[in-house]
Amino acid sequence: MQRRKLGRSGLEVSALGLGCMGMSFSYGPPKDTKEMTSLLLAAVERGVTFFDTAEVYGPFINEELVGKALAPFRGQVVLATKFGFKLDPNRGPKWVGLDSRPEHIKQVAEASLKRLKVDAIDLFYQHRVDENVPIEDVAGAVKDLMREGKVKHFGLSEAGVQTIRRAHAVQPVTALQSEYSLWTRTPEKEVIPTLEELGIGLVPYSPLGKGFLTGKIDKKSTFDSSDFRSTLPRFTPEALKANQALIDLLGKIGQRKKATPAQIALAWLLAQKPWIVPIPGTTKLHRLDENIGAVAVELTSEDLREIDTAASKITAQGARYPENLEKLTGR
């Protein structure tokens, strides 16, 4: 597995990470713990060193799964987790809003350290920007945790450029995690140039468009009510039908390169910048192998031009989130 550095921070990770959320949260009921433990170990065997979780995934059970499964590999793997949601213990617990007050960040850090079974969190992201708390206070709280040796690197998720600049001025940001793929190219306009200027890495989540870019989802696909895609405007039958043109494009390039649509989608992301590290999630071993195979797919400048030209004529139909979640992004 090739390795990459996230910006100028010096944090080195595998060129592809593993998003662990779907093992416990959002994509139907939590998966079998033993099976997911085996998958995490298989990822390590294949050279994956970068694993992404969050306290809100479950809540809590995803961090516990990742912490326990990867305990034998302390020092060999990089664990990223997140703070910033307000959880109501009387409701399951369920998230009921945002909370990035410094005292809350410190409480979350202590709890995550225990669940992850580590002395220090490798990368601690603010999960969503909390407009009730100045980002300088958030960065200051993480800086304190870094001084105490409890956190190694600071990250932001779905933040806008002004927030990134203000946070970075207080405590250098190692990575921004945002949705980025051939299906969601919002970061290209302002965010990616800002990250390049400041030396911050980009960690694209949903690099396969929540499964759509694998080519295995079409207008006939249905989603259980426990699968959050059932609530997404971009996953209505009409939108899926309209967005099929992108799959046709990936399939066409894939045939030429002897690669799957998913591998082309990931290879395209890897080719954008050397400091981009996608974190596709999966719960299946054959998908893990398929995703890792993308690292070996070489796209020439001509291939990339062809993809960009064709993709620029395709406008993704449907918002990526319902309105209540969409408004939490890009702030």
Q: How far is CA 61 from CA 25, 64, 129, in A?
A: 9, 5, 23
Distance CA 109, CA 191 (A): 27
Burial (CB count <10 Å: 0-12, 13-18, 19+), residue 198: middle
Alpha-carbon distance of 38 to 284, in angstroms, equals 10
Q: How many CB atoms lie within 10 A of CB 101?
A: 17
> CA 104 → CA 20, 100, 184, 315, distances in Å?
24, 6, 32, 40
Residue 59, preceding peptide bond in cis (omega within 30° of 0): yes
Helix or strand or coil: residue 19? strand
CA distance 231 to 229: 5
Contact by Cβ (8 Å): 283, 23 = yes
Taking the C-alpha atoms of residue 200 and residue 168, their distance in angstroms, rounded to an integer, is: 9
Secondary element (H or E) of residue 98 = strand 94-98
User: What is the per-residue DSSP string for 137-155?
Assistant: HHHHHHHHHHHTTSEEEEE
**Is 57 among the catalytic positions?**
yes
Q: In 3D, which of 107, 104, 57, 45 has the Cα closest to residue 81?
A: 57
Q: What is the DSSP string of 155-198?
A: EEES--HHHHHHHHHHS---EEEEE-BTTB-GGGTTHHHHHHHH
153 forms beta bridges with 123
Catalytic-labelled residue, pool 27, 57, 125, 205: 57
Catalytically active residues, by annotation: 57
